[in-house]
Structure 1
Amino acid sequence: MKKITVISASILLLAAAGSYAAPKKQKPVKIGIAKIVQHQALDDVERGVIDAIKDAGIEAEYDLQNANGDVGTAAQIANQFKSKKVDAAVGIATPIAVALATTLKTTPVIFGTVTDPVGAGLVSTLEHGERNITGMSDAIPTEQHIQLFKEVAGIKTLGYIYTSNEDNSASALELVKKGCREAGIELVTQSITKSDEVKQAAEAIVNRVDGIYLTTDNTVFSAIASLVNVFGKAKKPIFSGDVTAAKEGGIFMASGFNYYKAGRATGEIVVQVLNGKKCTEIPVRFMTDPSDSDFLIDLDVAKKCGITVDKKYIDSANMIFQNGKLTEK
């Protein structure tokens, strides 16, 4: 009888040891990522978010969505994320971020590439997040860009196309107006509401301006090829606040941060939230490090437009497009 008791105890100890040796594997976290429209810059943000989360050692399942420029679709995506009970939701660009913030009241919402998060009503201050919302802003130095455009290309009249029904674009328009006042140049604007209006807007404005400036308007960039074609035929220069679109040629100058790095910065915020940090403890992040930005000059376009670019600008650019080829320094 005593021998049986000892054997039984040994079996129980082995069973217990076995249960501790093979702990139950944790389920992957569920992350919803939505962008307002598909184009290279926003695709790079999405990729950067995913890579940052992966590099942090977090196993995740992703629900990747594209609103195709439609606010109604953005609202449907937000409801989908809510019904699926994602652990965190990432909104790339202002309209989709607003849709997520409106619908998801307890799920962390991390916005990426939102130019004016305060103006969009996502947060009330840039010093910290609000409720369940925080993220990364893609504000660019618009006034400095316009001054640089004037210095290099000698423009006296600047064109600007913007999406009238987007908070992001309305905020950018005010900065463009200010930049033109400070630079002493005339501003000619043309509004659109959807991407298939970009070509028509470009045609309406091209003969009234010396060049055109582009901020980070996603609706405009989703149809950038048509705008580049119109201004290319007219031999009028384009200055872009998004370098991504300029890498294929056709845009005279571009200065802005690297969108993949912006995605990684957004992903790092997601990691903080998943590791237990509250959104209210995380300030809105900006891409302020010089290494985060690129400066591109297209010498093929300069030649076509009859612009002679001073050597100091060429030397300061880390990307040069010439003879149909992009070279990175």
Structure 2
Amino acid sequence: MKKKLGVLLAIVAMLVTVIGCGSNNAGGNNSGSPANNSAPGAEAPADTSKESYKVAISQVVEHPSLDAIREGFLAALKDAGIVEGENLKLDYNNAQGDPTNYMTIAQKIAGDKYDLVLGIATPSTQALVSQVKNSPILFGGVTDPIDAKLVDNLEKPGGNVSGASDTNPEAIVQLMDFIAEHFKDVKTVGVVMNQGEPNAVIMAGHAEKALEKHGIKLIRASATNTSEVKQAAESLVGRADALYTTLDNTVVEAVSTVIQVANEHDIPFFSSDRDTVEKGAFATVGFKYYDHGYQVGEMAVAVLKEGKQVGDMPVTVPDKLDLILNLKAAQEQGIEVTDAMKDLVKDKENNLLE
């Protein structure tokens, strides 16, 4: 009996020893645990990357510049390993230029939870900011984020909103200076614009101030929807020595009609974006909207994979400006392209369009 009792006590002692060792390992000193590789008191860096992401996009209308923003944005995500159909669930919404759709789309997005929301152009972003409070918001294709009341500080916006403005006022000044320097007969510049689009009003104001320094007058022709754009352009024939368009979504969507008027009447046509020059305007000082979208996409990657707060990210503006000339459009509009004009183009391979 004593012998059996001794064996039993020995077994109990062994179990206590095993349990004690197991408790020590559970406390985090296991050599296989990540914490064992850190210095005492140090915290391992937070890994905010996820297996999948949910992103919503609200785009005001389809046209080449805005489509390029979206494409560049998604390309930046893809380059960072966030790929639609694999680990990215994308909710893409296009308002088709209908103001009643801006709020409807924003309310729908606000009713769900997204890892990130992208607004493309001012009206769509304004609706998103008014409704979406539970997701970080980035924007692209916005002319003046402060005037649009999206943010109140470009360096540190705060809240859940930031992004990239597609306008550097210096680009407008450079383009107006180019007109004044190389088109001595131009005394009036006509701008087709939707007075209801804040970005168009702001840019036209910048252009007017820049032209005033050269004694050139800006004439506005209003178009409230795409069907009125051609009529507005035609109203400038005989009154304007040159035509100009801003980053006006209404006008850009129907810009082929402005090009048609410019070509038929040999009127030099200047635009605020590269895509319109590629379509048939003569010149702009600008950048690629794909690159602009890619820049916003890089901000999105920082939010999604690095855990950065959008409110701490400065609003950016295009900084790689260059004169872009369409030589074929010059022929259509009766423009003699001089060597002095060509010499102003920094990247002649990509920005002298044949």
TM range (shorter): 0.7 to 0.9
Structure 2 equivalent of residue 194 of structure 1: 225
Verify: 1:51 aligned to 2:82, yes or no.
no
1:229 aligns with 2:229: no
Q: Runs of at least 4 residues of structure 1 off by over 6 A?
A: none
Matched residue, 1:90: 118
How many residues were matched structurally? Answer: 302
The 5-angstrom pairing of residues 202-281 of structure 1 reads: 202-248=233-279, 250-274=280-304, 275-281=306-312
Within the alignment, does 1:297 sit opposite 2:328 as a pair? no
Secondary structure of 1:161's counterpart equals: strand
Cα distance in structure 2, aligned partners of 1:158 and 1:244 = 21
Q: TM-score, normalised by structure 1?
A: 0.85
Say if 1:258 and 1:294, in contact at 8 Å, map to a contact too. no
**Greater fraction strand:** 1
Aligned twin of 1:142: 172
Q: What SS does the aligned partner of 1:300 have? A: helix
Deviation at 1:139, TM superposition (A): 1.1
Distance 2:212 2:232 in 1: 23
Cα deviation, residue 300, structure 1: 3.2
Q: Match of 1:35?
A: 59
What amino acid does structure 2 have at the position aligned with 1:227? V
User: Aligned equivalents of 2:235 and 2:291: distance in 1?
Assistant: 35
Change in Cα spacing, 1:195 to 1:130, as seen in structure 2 (3 Å) is farther
Q: Kindly provide the amino acid, as one letter, of the partner of residue 255 in structure 1.
A: V
Identity fraction in percent: 35
1:96/1:63 Cα in 2 relative to 1: closer, same or farther (>3 Å)?
Answer: same
Counterparts of 1:49-128 in structure 2, within 5 Å, are 49-58=73-82, 59-128=87-156
CA distance in 2, matches of 1:172, 1:68: 23
Q: Find the counterpart in structure 2 of residue 312 from structure 1.
A: 340
SS at match of 1:285: coil
Question: Contact between 2:110 and 2:133, CA under 8 Å: does it hold in 1?
Answer: no
Which 5+ residue runs of structure 1 have no aligned equivalent? 3-19
Cα distance in 1 for partners of 2:130, 2:94 equals 18
Asked if 1 retains the 8 angstrom alpha-carbon contact of 2:113 and 2:134, the reply is no
| Cα drift, residue 107 of structure 1 | 1.1
Secondary structure of 1:284 counterpart: coil
CA contact (8 A) 1:255 1:295 kept: yes
Where does 1:279-290 land on structure 2 (aligned, <5 Å)? Answer: 279-288=310-319, 290=320
> What are the superposed Cα offsets for residues 65-85 of structure 1, whole Å, 9 maximum, x if unpaired?
111112210111111212232
Contact kept in structure 1, 2:174 and 2:285, CA below 8 Å: no
Structure 2 CA distance for aligned equivalents of residues 190 and 316 of structure 1: 30
2:257 aligns to what SS in structure 1? helix
Q: CA RMSD in A?
A: 2.5
- Structure 1 stretch displaced more, 140-149 or 217-226: 140-149
Give the 3-state SS of the residue equivalent to 1:91 in structure 2. Answer: strand
1:160–1:187: 8 Å Cα contact kept in structure 2? yes
The structure with the largest alpha-carbon Rg is 2
* Structure 2, gaps ≥5 residues long: 1-10, 12-32, 34-48
